[in-house]
Amino acid sequence: MIVAALAALALRALASPLFAQETGAPASDAALIRVMWVILAAWAVIAVLLFSIDRKVSRMERERRDG
């Protein structure tokens, strides 16, 4: 069942607007893609913030261990 579901996922991915060969996706799909990119952009900001905090904390932990 899991294999079938993953296969369905893969087929849907190929049919999704991101991979669509035809030009001009329907208006609702275009809006969905816009919302998706906004959320991905917000996540990118959060990810960069978390990554920079992680790096600073790791450096301080290394200094404390070695110092």
Partner 1 sequence: MKHIARLTHIAMPAAVVMAFLFAPAVDVHGETGRLLFFHVPLAWIAALAFAVAGALSIVHLADRSGRWAHLDAKARHSAAIGLAATVLATATGSVWAKMSWGSYWNWDPRETSIIILMLVYIAYFSLDSALAGRGNRGRVASAYLIIAMAAMPFFIFIFPRLFGSLHPRSGSLETDAVTRITLLVSIAAHTLLYLYVFSLKNRVFALEHVTE
Binding region for partner 1 (CB under 8 A): 1, 4-6, 8-9, 12-13, 16-18, 28, 32-33, 35-36, 39-40, 43, 47, 50-51, 53-54, 57, 60-61, 64
Q: Closer CB to partner 1, residue 9 or residue 24? A: 9
By the 8 A CB rule, do 30 and 37 touch?
no
Q: Closer CB to partner 1, residue 12 or residue 23? A: 12
- Closest contact distance (angstroms) between CB of 63 and partner 1 is 10
